[in-house]
Structure 1
């Protein structure tokens, strides 16, 4: 069951996703987690909800074009740089792995 916006702000302490976008991003996050083929039914509900929130934020970052590399408004400037930019898939898997472990590494057994 997907977390609600109150869980996102009060338990996960998220502040990146506007309330109007939260249901859509959670839906995508749940679908992504289901696609990993992990046994998510064994996770504690709060841990699964945290994973959904993390992946929802990563999904939002992907939709926005990736991580901020440079931003400026007048004299104010902000830059985030990584040694190697993450792919959309890496960003989602890293967010999921934080809460569900190595199953989110992208390895799928057939």
Structure 2
């Protein structure tokens, strides 16, 4: 399993807080294991699987933020007394439906892994 040091140093991630990392990386790893069960997954480089899991963990963190009302596209912001509001709907909204999340996780995995259905 990928650790927080790999996330920070090799993947160069800076989004996920260390306290949230273990659960997110487990969820991302479980998703990669699912892909391996149903697809042909090859890693072109030694760190490809770790990089893919980190990318999926970043996406999961973003989905969690949106679900908690803390993320999404910024609709307005103020500097004095710090205020921000995020859009939850509209053309600029992130698709957080189960299908949208699955599509994004697959896209993240495909950034680093070759994933095929059937024979390649």
TM range (shorter): 0.7 to 0.9
Structure (1 or 2) with the greater strand fraction: 2
| Aligned-pair Cα RMSD in Å | 2.9
Superposition TM-score, scaled by structure 1 size: 0.73
Structure 2: unaligned runs, 5 residues or longer: none
Distance 1:35 1:69, change over 3 A: same
Distance 1:6 1:71, change over 3 A: farther
Partner of 1:68: 72
CA-to-aligned-CA distance 1:14-72 (integer Å, 9 cap, x gap): 000011111110100011111122345x5344110001100001111111227621154
Specify the structure having the higher radius of gyration (Cα).
2
Superposition TM-score, scaled by structure 2 size: 0.68
Aligned length, in residue pairs: 103
Structure 1: unaligned runs, 5 residues or longer: none
Point out 4+ residue stretches in structure 1 off by more than 6 angstroms.
76-84
Distance 1:22 1:64, change over 3 A: same
Determine helix, strand or coil for the equivalent of 2:113.
helix
Partner of 1:97: 110
Determine helix, strand or coil for the equivalent of 1:90.
helix
Partner of 1:6: 5
